[in-house]
Structure 1
Amino acid sequence: MNEQDDRLARAREEIAARVASFKATQEKFEREREEYYAATLGKAWSGFNRPSFWS
């Protein structure tokens, strides 16, 4: 491999690492949103009793 090929290989590796890092961050955010919903909004909605207007 020549110098240009080495540079391109390093650039591809760096891009792959950045994409993997971005994906991991997005997955972390998704988990945190789901945990927040389960802990906060899910409990709030499960305890919410709507008045029945038809009974």
Structure 2
Amino acid sequence: MSEKEDRLAREREEIAACIASFKATQQKFERERHEYYAKTLANAWSGFGRSPV
């Protein structure tokens, strides 16, 4: 490969790594949102039938 081709290949690898990192971060945020929602909803329902103090 020529020097230019090597540089382009490295840049593509770097871009692919950045995209993979971004995707993993987005998936983590989505999991955390779902967990927060489930926890909040469960807490709301657990107090729904109780009489106020």
Instruction: Give the count of matched residue pairs.
Output: 47
Kindly state the Cα deviation for residue 7 of structure 1 after the two structures are TM-superposed: 0.2
Q: Calculate the TM-score normalised by the size of structure 2.
A: 0.81
Letter in 2 for 1:24: A
* Structure 1 unmatched runs, 5+: 50-55
* Structure 2 unmatched runs, 5+: none
Letter in 1 for 2:38: A
Measure the CA separation in 1 of the matches of 2:11 and 2:21.
Answer: 15
| 2:9 equivalent in structure 1 | 9
Letter in 2 for 1:31: R
SS in 1 for 2:30: helix
Q: Once the two structures are superposed, what CA deviation does each residue of 1:8-41 show, in whole Å capped at 9, x if it has no partner?
A: 000000000000000000000000000000111x
| 2:32 equivalent in structure 1 | 32
Q: Calculate the TM-score normalised by the size of structure 1.
A: 0.78
Structure 1: which 4+ aligned runs deviate by more than 6 Å?
A: none
Q: CA RMSD in A?
A: 1.2
